[in-house]
Amino acid sequence: MKKVIITGYCHQILQDELTAMGYLVNYEPYISYDALLQEINNYNGLIVSTRIKVDAALIDKAINLQWIGRLGSGMDLIDVPYAEQKNIQCLSSPEGNSNAVAEHTLTLLLSLMNKVNFSYEKIKQHIWAREESRGEELMDKTVGIIGFGNTGSRFAQLLAAFNVTVLVYDKYKNGFAKDYIKEASLEHITRYANVVSFHVPHTAETHYYANATFFNALQQQPYFISTCRGKVTNTDDLIQAIENKKIKAAALDVLENEKLSSYTETEKNQLNKLLSFDNVIITPHTAGVTKESFFKTSKILAEKIKQL
């Protein structure tokens, strides 16, 4: 009998669908890497989320593995080229949480522009900071989107109601311009955008893509948002950009290191510095985590596995 191990928290629909396909399902959402390494040879399928790194050592042990399924988006924790070299197919379900991430991105943007977090903190101090909380409207602004995959394109769709101009840079896509959505170069975005939002995977190419060079090229002092991967942004350079007023405010759903308990003194100082700014919002990588996306990512992944 074919066997699959699920190492991430998922909706029951995925287990039910896999069982219906004839798999014996082992649901281990808290299994450690070391424990998985010891038993991965028993499985034909592996499902992961954001906890387990599927590296060459694990793949070498997976002598019976036929496919790897990723709940949600982002394949940066999976050595996809090595897996495919071993004839292991790799799947993901980014369609399942793209709307959730897009809505969260819009939430962060509107919160920044209307100084929601700042004014709430003042209220908690019993300070009625009405004038200091004066915000600005998104209407008629220019929004730069870097990366036009599932989440970037969905975010652009949500912006339709605001009468904005959307400038999109995607190195690997073209021919998508329509109405208020324009194809643009990175230079166009750094020159004209009042908002910059990152929606790219973390790869060797995008590592520290948002760095000092990028921030110093910004000409409109835009709002900066990242809901993709933490290592796309150089934290030190972001802090300098805020201090030097190269950006107006920043919202992050991701950090370079999201295991706060493992922080070095340098990382603690970086985080404390970010938290000291009135114009920064940080959420704990929850952009794609909604009740709806919990179901959809599991359902879509099951459908893709069924097509193998």
Find the CATH number of the domain harbouring 16.
3.40.50.720
**Residue 74: band (very low, low, confident or very high) from pLDDT cuts 50, 70, 90:** confident
| Cα–Cα dist 302/296, whole Å | 10
**152 and 38 in one domain?**
no
**199 and 74 in one domain?**
no
**213 and 144 in one domain?**
yes
**75 and 117 in one domain?**
no
Q: What is the pTM of this model?
A: 0.94
Q: How many domains does the chain have?
A: 2
* 307, 277 contact by CB (below 8 A): no
Q: How far is CA 237 from CA 204, 211, 231, 244, in A?
A: 18, 6, 12, 10
Q: Edge-to-edge strands of the sheet including 195-198? A: 181-183, 165-169, 142-146, 195-198, 223-226, 249-252, 280-282
**62 and 108 in one domain?**
no
Query: DSSP assignment, residue 35?
Result: H
Q: Per DSSP, what are the bridge partners of residue 54?
A: 78
Domain with 38, as residue range(s), is: 2-93+291-306
**170 and 302 in one domain?**
no
Q: Residue 160 pLDDT > 90, yes or no?
A: yes
Predicted confidence at residue 76, as pLDDT, reads: 87
Predicted confidence at residue 50, as pLDDT, reads: 86
**Residue 179: band (very low, low, confident or very high) from pLDDT cuts 50, 70, 90:** very high
- Identify the burial level of 299 via C-beta atoms within 10 angstroms of its C-beta, where 0-12 means exposed, 13-18 middle and 19 or more buried: middle
Region at 115 (left for phi over 0; alpha for psi -120 to 50; beta for the rest): left
Average pLDDT over residues 157-175: 97
**197 and 81 in one domain?**
no
| Cα–Cα dist 45/55, whole Å | 15
Average pLDDT over residues 167-177: 96
**295 and 205 in one domain?**
no
Average pLDDT over residues 109-126: 97
∠ CA 188-191-195 to the nearest 5 degrees? Answer: 95
